[in-house]
Amino acid sequence: MEGARAASEVRRFLMQRGSGGVADRTFAALMLGCALSIFAIVALILGILILRSRLSLHEFGLSFFLRSDWDPVRGSFGAVPFIWGTLASAFLALLIAVPLALGVAIFINEMCPRALRTPISFLTELLAAIPSVVYGLWAIFVLVPIMRSSVGPFLKKFFGWTGLFHGPNFGIGLLTASMILAIMVLPVISSIARDVMKAVPNTQREGVLALGATRWEMVRIGVLRNARIGIVGAVILGLGRALGETMAVTMVIGNHAAIPKSLFAPAYTLASVIANEFTEATGDLYLSALIEIGLALFLVTIVVNAIARLLVFMVTRGNTARAV
């Protein structure tokens, strides 16, 4: 009797509130608007950059992205040194940071004693919260002297034959900027990789160990293989951070508009030239060229991330990670 009464009360409530179709359509429209806003924001940014750089685009055309000279006095501008410096510093930073970040993530997840796991995780995530200007100051007062007096001479003595470590070493240059970038992207890659590895089921680890594998084989086959998609995603996020970093890189890269012939040589990045010269741009063409540098940074970021996404697809073939 009580069940029938409760059912009738529910039926009466549903009949009084209507079908709910209006609410569902309103909710769907709101969610669609939120999704479309992303496209609108990207289109707005791209449109403003193109609009404000049209003077430089009209003057130099697409050759702006193929020219190497940067001379505000003569009104001659090209983006090649900045594109090269941005890509070189970012990829060199990833070359240094990715092995360290994966090592930290593997240690915390698979080998770290329980008492140390929380402090190490907290300190790793704390690195991501430090302002970039603090990293820059630390690099000037600590990293640059070390590079000038210890690391640089060592690399020049034992690896100078490679052609990468020649010329004067003042401690400020492409290699120093890449090292500070590596420190800055390390917590980003490590934190995401750690979360991805933590999501791998323990049955994968137990299955590999049951087959007689060592701990390293368990990590390589049972953990890294299943977490590779998320790890590549973490590297992509770290690459995005490295491409757009401004202040710390500006303080130690040397800010010289030329393609460096050595890792000790000073260089320039797209973000650094905007930060350094935007307030000094007196002519309309100079200002337009700097805004076109921002457009180049926007396009480089899109192209690099598209290539990274393509690599992910080539690794996974559009499927999720395979189980062991």
Tens digits of residue pLDDT in 121-179? 888 888 888 999 999 999 999 999 999 999 999 999 888 888 889 888 898 999 999 99
SS3 268: coil
> Can you tell me the distance from the alpha carbon of 150 to that of 158, in angstroms, rounded to the nearest whole number?
13
Q: Is residue 5 part of a domain?
A: no
Q: What per-residue confidence (pLDDT) applies to 234?
A: 86
Q: What per-residue confidence (pLDDT) applies to 5?
A: 61
User: What average pLDDT does the segment 247-269 reach?
Assistant: 91
CB 55 within 8 A of CB 284: yes
Tens digits of residue pLDDT in 64-74? 888 888 888 88
Strand partners of residue 71: 76
Task: Provide the domain count of the chain.
Answer: 1
Q: Is residue 41 part of a domain?
A: no
> Can you tell me the distance from the alpha carbon of 150 to that of 109, in angstroms, rounded to the nearest whole number?
34
pTM of the model: 0.82
Residue 73: both structure tokens together: 């006095």
> Can you tell me the distance from the alpha carbon of 110 to that of 12, in angstroms, rounded to the nearest whole number?
56
Q: What is the CATH number of the domain that holds 291?
A: 1.10.3720.10
Q: Is residue 109 part of a domain?
A: yes
Residue 234's Cβ-side half-sphere holds a number of Cα atoms within 13 Å equal to: 24
Q: Which domain holds residue 109?
A: 54-316
